Structure 1
């Protein structure tokens, strides 16, 4: 394991993320070569890291107590993360390391005690979400009602996020919608900066092909519906999509569905009667297995091809954090059929750069997809407008510039 250097540079930047580098991957790749920064990183020992970039690692000295009150388990875990990070930073401080700026994702508690160790550092937090405000993800889907215990647990969890907001000098949140989910008291600290997506790697390709697991080769222009999520779960509308897909296949006898995503849980709970949501929904709906292709998690090059052959790309989400995948699909020239929920409505204007549908209405979603299959040329202006929007407002270069300006601010 390497140690932090104590050499002087114009700005000593410490980037802290339990899953280092997390959202900061592209930023670090750019900044590590700049003479204006000395970049150091810190993350969990299990974090993936970056090729050619050494970062310090921490480990929890124990797991949360099983007897801990369930409302407090998340807070106890956060304290354990913060304590482990503090031990590493205290040792680094003794060796002379003093960051000018700390950029941290504080959501797991890693940044809890940074202010106590480095009181003179400028601390910037990536403020992704604040859970307990009304009209968000909690209680949105009546099919999965929240209990009072769940609501109380989340409200207690927000004590961590409130403390993080108090202890930082500035915050970054990717979208206006995500900023609006934080208490208004802290809005003056929050800067809306999307880190950007790799638009140079994402483009439409009228000649794109993709070989499915069963050997069938599909092409751009074929009736292909695509769905992408980190994991297949209700938070990203997987249950609604599957019900829509059943209707689509009954009407359209040659279309294929390509579904990318794992069987773990990113958000929400596991199903009660199945090992994962894919199995749960396959037990509920009747689909043609020869035309329904679950790819799991795929390499980036395969993912790009999936987007390029898409005739209709479905993006459904609770009122929650907006996925990169929707922006990447837009940059690839996909026709987005997205849920009429606030995070999507911030980006998609119905009939201008995509199509908006009721999250809970499989029949409407199915009809919109069938219409896309029937009239691809009529939807081409929407695809082009989507691509233009992303490539004019959500590039890596724009994200890097805005982050750099925020980091270099003084006072």
Structure 2
């Protein structure tokens, strides 16, 4: 079995899923996997080194224009001759399947990682047309599957919920909430959809009430939005309360130093950072966005707030951090749910089973 995964080189959640699948499937005999990254500004050497360390076979192809990307990927497919091409995310799932068709790859799979994308009428026409030649469309959550049902695709849609490495996050040495030195953390790339602004506004509201909490923001991304966040922090004089970390390969350790995790997204596919925080024993506070809401049972294993509502968010944060000891059972419930339902071993097995089914059609 030869499987080629094509995904953005931006090292987003989609890239992470592709890397996890290849890492797991590389352990299976008679299986060859190739990761192809579409070059982005954030396709930097330190991130590529991590792929080398995991012994992942990868190529980085041009991202200058869509036409150039399709041309280069087509040539690579003709040389490597995969049995299955898995195209992750938008617009890569369009470009990847176009190249796969031109190279006559036997099986094409689309993986949709988000519940909301910038589909113009032309792009929607392209993805509908490509669905006729696509064996399967995989949605990374039930919410994404529901959104895909509105696109009138001709390929069957299957939900394979994303998962995490539950052995890496949490473990037996987690500190109780009251002993954790830091208050809040959010792990997300800088993009308007992640809505860091709502969290900053909530933090400012608490400051005005005399409640000064620490916040760690981990991530990089769109410079314009990152500058907007920094400007807001400066305007509210919150600099002494907030630590900015552009990139860390020790997010697991960072999470276990914090009492609460916030995900203020406006939309998602399925947010892996939420699952990682739940596994790490943080009190998770998430927006009622697709890809976040379905992960949290409000008041049982985390808390939900209306999208963009900084006032409600501020209230929840204040309640949790005023008496963190009261929420230890909630974090235990959250961790048990992740271990039982969102372990990536289940995810990688589901994808492998799908690939095996496709090969039976040959």
Q: TM-score range by the shorter chain?
A: 0.7 to 0.9
2:44 pairs with 1:54:
no
Q: Which residue of 2 aligns with 1:265?
A: 222
Counterpart CA distance in 1 for 2:154 and 2:267 is 19
2:139 corresponds to which of 173, 180, 192: 173
Counterpart CA distance in 2 for 1:201 and 1:130 is 27
2:112 pairs with 1:127:
yes
SS in 1 for 2:120: helix
2:247 pairs with 1:298:
yes
TM-aligned CA deviation for residue 238 of structure 1: 0.9
Q: Which has the larger radius of gyration?
A: 1
- The correspondence of residues 192-203 of structure 1 with structure 2, limited to 5 A, is 192-203=159-170
- The correspondence of residues 247-262 of structure 1 with structure 2, limited to 5 A, is 247-253=205-211, 255-262=213-220
- The correspondence of residues 313-392 of structure 1 with structure 2, limited to 5 A, is 313-392=261-340
Q: Which residue of 2 aligns with 1:105?
A: 88
Q: Contact 1:220/1:308 (CA < 8 Å) preserved in 2?
A: no
Q: Contact 1:172/1:191 (CA < 8 Å) preserved in 2?
A: yes
Q: Contact 1:18/1:110 (CA < 8 Å) preserved in 2?
A: no
1:79 corresponds to which of 53, 67, 70: 67
**51-60 or 170-179, which deviates more:** 51-60
Counterpart CA distance in 1 for 2:68 and 2:84 is 23
2:21 pairs with 1:27:
yes
Q: Contact 1:223/1:373 (CA < 8 Å) preserved in 2?
A: no
Runs of 5+ in structure 1 lacking a partner?
1-10, 64-76, 133-150, 210-218
Cα deviation, 1:89-119, whole Å, max 9, x if unaligned, reads 33x1xxxx54322222263313313123225
Cα deviation, 1:56-95, whole Å, max 9, x if unaligned, reads 45336xx4xxxxxxxxxxxxx33332122112333x1xxx
Cα deviation, 1:233-292, whole Å, max 9, x if unaligned, reads 431121111110012223354532222222x329xxx36xxx7122231244342x33x1
Q: Which residue of 2 aligns with 1:280?
A: 231
Counterpart CA distance in 2 for 1:397 and 1:187 is 29
Counterpart CA distance in 1 for 2:97 and 2:167 is 33
Counterpart CA distance in 2 for 1:208 and 1:297 is 27
SS in 1 for 2:298: coil
Aligned CA distance change for structure 1 residues 59 and 309 (closer, same or farther; 3 Å): closer
Q: Alpha carbon RMSD of aligned pairs, Å?
A: 2.9
Runs of 5+ in structure 2 lacking a partner?
none
TM-aligned CA deviation for residue 208 of structure 1: 8.4
SS in 2 for 1:167: coil
TM-score, structure 2 normalization: 0.83
Number of residues of Structure 1 aligned to a counterpart in Structure 2? 341
Q: Contact 1:352/1:385 (CA < 8 Å) preserved in 2?
A: yes
SS in 2 for 1:336: strand
TM-score, structure 1 normalization: 0.74
Q: Contact 1:85/1:111 (CA < 8 Å) preserved in 2?
A: no
2:183 corresponds to which of 208, 224, 238: 224
Q: Contact 2:301/2:331 (CA < 8 Å) preserved in 1?
A: yes
More helix by share: 2
Aligned CA distance change for structure 1 residues 37 and 238 (closer, same or farther; 3 Å): same
Aligned CA distance change for structure 1 residues 341 and 12 (closer, same or farther; 3 Å): closer
Q: Contact 2:115/2:268 (CA < 8 Å) preserved in 1?
A: no
Aligned CA distance change for structure 1 residues 127 and 311 (closer, same or farther; 3 Å): same
Q: Which residue of 2 aligns with 1:117?
A: 103
SS in 2 for 1:200: coil
Counterpart CA distance in 2 for 1:230 and 1:310 is 19
Q: Contact 1:236/1:316 (CA < 8 Å) preserved in 2?
A: yes
TM-aligned CA deviation for residue 54 of structure 1: 3.3
Counterpart CA distance in 2 for 1:332 and 1:130 is 26
